[in-house]
Amino acid sequence: MTTDPAALTAALIRCPSVTPADAGALDVIAAPLAEAGFTLTWVERGGIRNLLARWGDKGHPRTFGFNGHTDVVPIGNEGDWTHAPFGADVEDGVMYGRGACDMKSGVAAFVAAAIDFVQETPPDGALLIAITGDEEGDALDGTIALLDHMKDQGEAMSVCLVGEPTCPNEMGEMLKIGRRGSMSAWFTVTGVQGHSAYPHRARNPLPAMARLMDQLASHELDQGTEHFDPSTLAVVTIDTGNPANNVIPATCTSCVNIRFNDAHTGAALADWLRAEAAKVADAFDVTIELEIKISGESFITQPGPFSDIVVNAVQAETNRTPELSTSGGTSDARFIQAHCPVIECGLVGQSMHQVDEHVSVAHIHQLKGIYTRVLRDWFA
């Protein structure tokens, strides 16, 4: 009897696991894995519950890994949904609910594939399934905690497949072999408050901030690299909190977000931001404080035997040759890339995080087929 990934998806959707709540989602996955002979380890850190399931010998030199998450983003206004956000309703072959696309269906597909694979054709090797409840949140105590635990216990994946949705429009059109780095920087410019009729008695932080933001936004970071589009910098907010039109404020704040390719490191970009801020501070006789958060570095899994296996599996199941892409935002692959080669392969992501998030039931079964082929060919 095969494992039905659509039924497993529905059971997961019915768990209202809005990050960081688990709401029983991991137990839905744990039960069939344990029944299939997987050894379960619960890794809890910072109030987050994570699951590591292993089939085969610990520390086996040929260990295939899957990674995913069962936490979801909030539903927003429930009244805007035409289907219950946690109902897993199916209409015209489409299943609705928060997490249907991102990414309870992906988790269900690789869990179902792994269970059936080890029972039907036990491989010479091991499988590790790492599932977190902290991907949509701060992501500090989820996949990172699992990787830390694995390191402490001498566990390691040879390669890892992440089940995030990767296709923009059609099933099978794209894989992710890397991701851009992401970082944000918050600037606080401080001058001297004063009357707007006597600007010479004040030091206005606004012209300094305007100059700095213009210089940063106008700067060409690069023209792209072999596998990446050009890096981008976006000014996302400039604020003074000043309600008066006759007062020059003392401070002004702003934030920029940078998505960068493998021509840069977060540290090098941070140095550049500090240098630009220092030049503007000197020119306008103000002080500029800077806070920087690097969410992840850019990375690339070079095309090769692993990506060939995934591409061939996608071709066989969808009749499409997927593009090897590095586009999009960040995912937990940014943590795994320091551990082993990692590729992301999943469903169409058009509805993720939206009202009436949904997934084609046929695509869930198709994705299980892709993962099954990947396992069969990788262990062959």
Catalytic positions are 71, 135
Output phi, psi for 212, to 5 deg: -65, -45
Find the Cα–Cα–Cα–Cα dihedral 315, 157, 17, 295, rounded to 10°: -90
Q: Are 379 and 159 in contact (CB under 8 A)?
A: no
Angle between helices 104-120 and 25-35 (to 10 degrees): 10
- Residue 129 token pair: 């399934």
Q: Are 163 and 67 in contact (CB under 8 A)?
A: yes
Query: CA angle, 48 as apex, 45 and 53 as ends, to 5°?
Result: 85
- Residue 268 token pair: 């090098």
Q: For residue 67, which of 88, 50, 55 has the smallest C-alpha distance?
A: 50
Angle between helices 205-218 and 266-284 (to 10 degrees): 140
Q: Are 143 and 135 in contact (CB under 8 A)?
A: yes
Q: Are 305 and 232 in contact (CB under 8 A)?
A: no
Find the Cα–Cα–Cα–Cα dihedral 316, 318, 324, 329, rounded to 10°: -140
% helix / strand / coil in the chain, to the nearest 5?
Answer: 35, 25, 40
- Residue 278 token pair: 């220092």
Q: What is d(CA 156, CA 64) in angstroms, rounded to the nearest whole number?
A: 9
Q: Are 96 and 35 in contact (CB under 8 A)?
A: no
